[in-house]
A = this chain, B = another copy of it.
Amino acid sequence: MYFSLMPRPREFEPDAVLNVAMLRFWERGYRAVSVEDLVKATGVKPGSLYSAFPGGKRALFLKSLERYSRLVVPEKLGELEASDASLAEVRGYFDGLVRDLLSPEGRQGCLLVNTAIENAAEDDEAAAVVRGHLARLERCMTHALENAVRRGQVRASLDCAGSAKLLVATCQGLMVVGKANPDGVLLRAIVDNAFAALA
């Protein structure tokens, strides 16, 4: 009996290519990034790209969204996803957001927010990833607020679930404002006022 023969091995790392794609989509948006851009940025020729990522540009985009959710988002959330997170972690998340929006590298905002605006209306799969992200944010913020109530960090009468929904919307809004007007005084005022309502 014959065993399958070993083919020529890949000369590039698909994950590295996907990472480049993610970064490009993140900073320029889906439509603004061409496959040729990716070919130039990775050195991987079109044929190899398409055989490594069946479905072409859009598949690469959807995989970029997933990669972003899996690698970038947890880093931004930090300890906010820990089961003992409370008010400090929520505040830390917002402060990190503001810091990012004011730094030269962070002005691209959030890939998932950008996707909500650019693609959600015309791409259900992309919209679903965004919805998943929003639900995840809401979930861990609700949990953190519940801990905060328990520890007396916020008023006991706080509607944790509702406040979490508002905080999620607030951080999306923060990113829209920050993208058009990266003004630290303004952004910090927004965050301060959002948290003043919780105490």
Contacts and interface: CB of A to CB of B under 8 A. Distances in A.
A170 B179 contact: no
Contacts of A134: 177, 180-181
B121 A118 contact: no
Given A117-B113, A117-B114, A117-B117, A177 B170 contact: no
Interface string A31-60: 110000000000000000000000000000
Most buried by B among A127, A134, A177: A177
Chain copies in the assembled complex: 2
Contacts of A196: 159, 162, 197
A140 interface: no
Given A172-B176, A174-B173, A176-B176, A193 B117 contact: no
A186 interface: yes
A116 B27 CA distance: 13
Contacts of A121: 27, 107-108, 179
Contacts of A172: 172-173, 176-177
A29 interface: yes
Contact of A166 (B31, B32, B170): B170
Contact of A118 (B117, B169, B171): B117
Interface string A88-113: 00000000000000000001110001
14 contacts: A27-B121, A114-B118, A120-B179, A121-B179, A134-B177, A134-B181, A166-B170, A166-B189, A169-B174, A169-B176, A169-B177, A171-B173, A173-B176, A176-B176
Given A116-B176, A163-B193, 7 more contacts: A118-B118, A121-B179, A162-B189, A162-B192, A168-B173, A169-B194, A170-B170
